[in-house]
Amino acid sequence: MKHIVLFGPPGSGKGTQSENIIEKYGYGHISTGDVLRAEIANKTDLGKTAKDYINKGQLVPDSLIIDMLDKKLDDFVNAQGIIFDGFPRTTAQAEALKQMLQKRGTDVSVMLNLLVPEQELIDRLVKRGETSGRSDDNLETIQSRLNTYNNQTAPVIDYYKAEGKLANIKGLGTVSGIFELICEHIDAV
Ligand code: AMP
């Protein structure tokens, strides 16, 4: 079973490319952002806690995310592969993922790191905010999400580099062109 960490800052195209991967490879998909938004819509305790962090552009605490992911993994025992979209976002989450997969006799196959310049990210997210209905797609929260990414999430790149799992992908150009690069890496692992 392949475990693909689809990584990159907000607006780098993780959601769009996840859809392409699902369509071509039929893999299971875990987007921690989607799971949290569903928890908020269902007004669960986790949703109520997560909402404030999300609206400030901050990360939901590791312990909550890791518990949530551990439960979600059990939904995919028979999958050909799993795409992790928006997780891990801290080095502690990356370590926890390694342990959760080890417990199941497996490991991350590759980390696909989508590289997109910051101004392009801001332009994409502001544009997305016109139609997404997401409470965090506004300029103030976007700036905060990018700071959070740079300070807390970007170090995860070094974690996977040290593991020999890092694949950098230029996330500029056409969606289909970027997807071709992604497929080359998925097929190679
Ligand atoms: P996303 O849909 O991936 O852009 O996530 C939206 C928001 O959900 C983020 O800005 C965080 O507040 C929260 N979130 C999503 N995934 C995680 C994660 N792995 N760790 C902590 N917070 C997360």
Minimum CA distance residue for ligand 1 atom 8: 33
With the most atoms of ligand 1 within 8 angstroms of its CB, the residue from 59, 69, 90 to mutate is 59
- Residue 164 has a pLDDT of 98
Euclidean distance between CA atoms 106 and 44, whole angstroms? 31
Domains of the chain as residue ranges with CATH: 2-188 (3.40.50.300)
Per the confidence metrics, is the pTM higher than 0.85? yes
Residue 32: strand pairing partners:
none
- Residue 23 has a pLDDT of 98
Phi-psi region of 181 (alpha: psi -120 to 50; beta: other; left: phi over 0): alpha
With the most atoms of ligand 1 within 8 angstroms of its CB, the residue from 5, 7, 30, 32 to mutate is 32
Euclidean distance between CA atoms 90 and 129, whole angstroms? 25
- Residue 110 has a pLDDT of 98
- Residue 41 has a pLDDT of 97
Q: Closest Cα partner for 83 from 132, 148, 34?
A: 34
Q: Closest Cα partner for 163 from 125, 108, 124?
A: 108
- Residue 91 has a pLDDT of 98
Q: Which of 37, 134, 161, 170 is catalytic?
A: 134
Low-confidence ranges of the chain (pLDDT < 50): none
- Residue 45 has a pLDDT of 97
32 C-alpha to center of ligand 1: Å? Answer: 6
